[in-house]
Amino acid sequence: MFFFCLLSVFIRVHLWFHKAFELLSREASMTTHKTARDLSQFLAAQLDGDPSLPISGLASPESAGHADLIYVDSSRHLDRAAASAARCVLLPPDLSLPGKTLLRSPQPKLAFAKAAAWLLPAAPIATGIHPTAVISPTARLASGVAVGPYAVIEDDVSIAEGTQIAAFCFLGRGSRLGAHCRLYPRVTLYAGVRLGNRVLVHSGAVIGSDGFGYVTGEGKHLKFPQLGSVEIADDVEIGANSTLDRGSLSTTRLDSGVKLDNLVHVAHNVRIGANTLIAAQTGISGSSVIGNNVVIGGQVGIADHCTLEDACVAGAQAGIPTGKTIRSGQVVWGTPARPLDKFKEAYAWFARLPELAARLRAIEQKLP
């Protein structure tokens, strides 16, 4: 009896190892091994060193392994790279690092970001159509669309090829999603929202809710119609728990390449130009217009009907009053926001107020 029990255990262990070996072999066969030559060709970077060097990941110099890629964009960091276990380094053409395989690029950090997307493509957030998803029969899903558990897709929604909808998302009736979008868990799109191609929306974001619009009269606040829509162009990324209100009678719009951090609020009828960056906890009030390539720091408050022209910068916690215009290329800070040089001058005097107050008291005491 003992012999048969032992034989049974042996067979099970043998079958387990055989299955595990098959899975590992299958995974290994699916893995595409990249080399320094492959990466140099992809990045159009000059290669100095071993072209056959395998590269399978990316890391900081301190945490990198032998097969990881690291980058250096300043001579100040050469010592960190030299001490790193990484054997392949991205760096500018004018720097050198003996003993490493080098990929030379004018913009190493940009090249590193491109390498990351190429070497480590994002893992899927949904695969296939989960049986618990609730999808209207009038919704149109193109090939390759994936929908996760308990997602709800209402009437007349259209989703283009390759888009992934994660668990518990809600897509209101008539929404339109372009190709290869990614909606992380619990994203809500109200009715009629339109997303372009390759839009990333992180968890908890709400797009298309009513704007904060009221008319005061007869002793109460009457809701003004919020009948517009939200349109988001290609390659936009929206951070977790951000909120974008629909237009009241027109459209709230984000142009291509806009990147919103977490907890950003965009009110009704706001327009944000291409490639603008907005950091966390910024609030933009109704009908403000943000230009192209604008940079807005964290916790900036922008009142209604403001204009931030192209390529201007609003420093963290700046406050921009109603109707104000920030001119193209201008850098502002403080509340109310003012040009950076003016802010620094005023802040220097503000920091000296205790000293000046003491001097003033001393002068007052000497007066008759």
Please answer whether residues 156 and 176 qualify as being in contact, where contact means their C-beta atoms are separated by less than 8 angstroms: no
For the beta carbon of residue 224, count every other beta carbon within 10 angstroms.
15
Q: Which of 236, 335, 249 is nearest to 287 (CA)?
A: 249
3-state class (DSSP) for residue 100? coil
Distance CA 346, CA 192 (A): 47
Q: Who's near 363: CB < 8 A, 6+ residues apart?
A: none
- Select which of 33, 77, 202, 268 is catalytic: 268
Give DSSP secondary structure letters for 176-240: EE-TT-EE-TT-EE-TT-EE-TT-EE-TT-EEEEPP--EEEETTEEEEPP---EEEE-TT-EE-T
DSSP-derived letter for residue 85 is S
Give DSSP secondary structure letters for 289-338: EE-TT-EE-TT-EE-TT-EE-TT-EE-TT-EE-TT-EEPTT-EEETTTTE
3-state class (DSSP) for residue 12? helix
The secondary element (H helix, E strand) that includes residue 123 is none
Q: Which of 47, 87, 93, 42 is nearest to 69 (CA)?
A: 87
φ and ψ at 286, to 5 degrees?
-55, 140
Q: Where does residue 105 rank: exposed (0-12), middle (13-18), buried (19+ CB within 10 A)? A: buried
Please answer whether residues 281 and 296 qualify as being in contact, where contact means their C-beta atoms are separated by less than 8 angstroms: no
Active site residue 265: no
Distance CA 306, CA 287 (A): 8
List active site positions: 268
